[in-house]
Homo-oligomer: A and B are copies of this chain.
Amino acid sequence: MTRHAPDHPFDIALQLQPAGPDRYSGQTSAAYWNMVGPFGGTTAALALQAVLRHPDLLGEPLSLTVNYAGALVSGAFTVGARAVRTNRSTQHWTVELLQNDADGQPLITTTATVVTAARRETWSVNDTPMPTVSAPDSSAALPQVPGVEWIRRYEMRPIEGGIPRQWDGSGDSSLTRLWMRDNPPRPLDFCALAAMSDIFFPRVWLRRARQVPAGTVSLTVYFHASAQQLATAGDDYLLGQARAQ
């Protein structure tokens, strides 16, 4: 069987080859490079992707936790993904990303857990109402940042709480709202949503209006939408919101 080769940079970054039971191999993507390693969103999406393409998969993702143990270096990596428990309607996965160190020993760079489930039609209400915000075309897209390649892979249109223009310590809020989508546009799916969860610059930059070294250490995503609901979003803009606690 021939597979249709995906040509979107995100699909290329998510390509995994079977490498034995519960094991896949992949290559880091220069298109999503951050300053000292890949964009954490792609790493989260890869952990999820290994589960979603696993032959044992039951249902759709409910939750994903990714812990960034160490930066990946450019090159080959391995993903281990194992269904450690399969119930009637839920399934529990443990995932790890590994790269060989200088001595050829596998080193864990990322740990993750995923819960998947057969979604059932049930009572549902949105308890976080959609805020009243301006339309995407009324905000300018964020400019590119020299040397930070992954930012070019997203179109981000801040509504409020954009990156401070003056780093003068004057920040007083940590709320960011922005319209976001892949660049070039790509239909929304679970992996794209997982990646976009790591799109927000560190809250402390906004709250302090001061740039301090910061990186994502751990990230949890709860998926409240089905694959079908995500598909209806197509490649339109998505409203993203972040706030510190």
Contacts and interface: CB of A to CB of B under 8 A. Distances in A.
Interface of A: 62-63, 65, 67, 69-70, 84-85, 87, 90, 92, 94, 96, 107-109, 111-113, 115, 117, 123, 125, 127-128, 174, 203-204, 207-208, 212, 217-218, 220, 222, 224, 243-245
A113 B70 contact: no
A115 B111 CA distance: 10
Contacts of A123: 204, 208, 212
Q: Which of A69, A112, A128 counts the most chain B CB atoms within 10 A?
A: A69
A218 B115 contact: yes
A245 B128 contact: yes
Given A84-B96, A112-B113, 5 more contacts: A67-B113, A67-B115, A69-B90, A70-B87, A125-B207
A225 to B, nearest CB: 12
B208 A224 contact: no
Contact of A108 (B92, B115, B127, B220): B92
A131 to B, nearest CB: 13
Q: Which of A67, A94, A125 counts the most chain B CB atoms within 10 A?
A: A67
